[in-house]
Amino acid sequence: MAANSLMDVIGGTPAVWLDRMVAARGLEGRILAKLDYLNPGFSKKDRAARGIIEAAEADGELAPGQTVVELTSGNMGTGLAIVCGLKGYPFVAVMSRGNSVERARMMAALGAEVVLVDQLPGSVPGQVSGGDLAEVDRVAREIVTARGAFRADQFHHAGNTRAHYETTGPEMWADSDRSLTAFVDFAGSGGTYAGTVRALKARSPDLRGYVVEPEGAEALAGRSVLSPDHPIQGGGYAISVLEFLKTCPVDGYLSVSGAAARDAARALAREEGIFGGFSAGANAAAALELLAGPERGGVIGIVICDSGLKYLSTDLWGLD
């Protein structure tokens, strides 16, 4: 049956077992990959975008026709461009120039007004630091004030994590035939991890949840930040406290280097036919590390956060 709106096909994405990758490395256990890059905006953020806007409508935070503004690395902005466009809200995406150009072009094509913010002096294109993100946040706040806009505020709005609690977690549990023993996720806003792990632990209290950060920027794990710049776009901003993780159970922290995330993303494409982005590679690399260590023989859930199509201008898909 055909859907009445693209809104109706957000979520409900398929999931696949990464048995080829696991077997090729001689590991015991299984990894279940939730293919959220198959959402309409090619990322998991479509779920959060719909969740935030619908919650804001229900609570009266968002008035008919009001402008919506949000900072983004590109994925949340794409989801909001779709949701706001379908619902009739003007949308302004504020993004660092350090993010891949494909993301800005996609948001603009979907009707968003895209405001690009220069990186701080010394920053590396393709590597957005916490300082760069703070500058994007400053510009977003100015636009909200100037236009009397609604700030989607993905780092704090409950609609973000609630969307994953109500959809991603239950879907993954069913997809795995109720067999998951662990869940691991690269931390951006923390909304996916917090909502999903709460839903999974409600069904299996012994399930363990792990948060992934970039090597050298493990602020959430309480370590010194030695290298805030890294290529894993969409997270790892060396922020020591994320609102959604304050009261959320975390059983362990892992770090993944940019090179390891890149290698795992390429392996996902070659070995499993999954064309994901940097953070998908980080999740896969972390899950493989867990199967080689504390989760040996277990069943680990991960999310393929976004599409590799959003990184064609980066070195993720080099021809070397």
Residues spanned by CATH 3.40.50.1100 within the chain?
6-43+158-317, 45-151
**Yes or no: domain 45-151 corresponds to CATH 3.40.50.1100:** yes
Q: Give residue-wise pLDDT tens across range 87-123.
A: 999 999 999 998 888 889 999 999 999 999 999 988 8
Place of tokens 């009445």: 4
Catalytic residue list contains 45: yes
Q: Does domain 6-43+158-317 fall into CATH 3.40.50.1100?
A: yes
Which residues face 17 on adjacent strands?
32
Q: How many CB atoms lie within 10 A of CB 262?
A: 23
Catalytic residue among 44, 45, 201, 310: 45
Distance CA 286, CA 281 (A): 8
Which of 43, 100, 255, 279 is an active site residue? Answer: 279
Contacts of 319 (CB under 8 A, 6+ apart): none
Of 51, 45, 41, the closest CA to residue 109 belongs to: 41
pLDDT truncated to tens, each residue of the chain (320 aa)?
A: 899 999 999 999 999 999 999 999 999 999 999 999 999 999 999 999 999 999 999 999 999 999 999 999 889 999 999 999 999 999 999 999 988 888 899 999 999 999 999 999 888 777 777 788 899 999 999 999 999 999 999 999 999 999 999 999 999 999 999 999 999 999 999 999 999 999 999 999 999 999 999 999 999 999 998 887 788 888 888 788 899 999 999 999 999 999 999 999 999 999 999 999 999 999 999 999 999 999 999 999 999 999 999 989 888 987 55
Q: Which of 90, 86, 85, 29 is nearest to 65 (CA)?
A: 90
User: Helices (DSSP H) in 75-129: which residue ranges?
Assistant: 75-87, 101-109
306/280 Cα distance (integer angstroms): 7
Question: Residue 229: its pLDDT value, please?
Answer: 78
Cα separation of 110 and 212, whole Å?
Answer: 31
Does 279 qualify as catalytic in the annotation?
yes
Residue 320 pLDDT: 52
Chain-centre distance for alpha carbon 145:
27
Spatial strand order of the sheet with 299-303 comes to 15-17, 30-34, 299-303, 182-186, 208-214, 252-256
Q: With b meaning 16 or more CB within 10 Å and e meaning fewer, what string describes 98-131?
A: bbbebbbebbeebebebbbbebeeebeebbbbbb
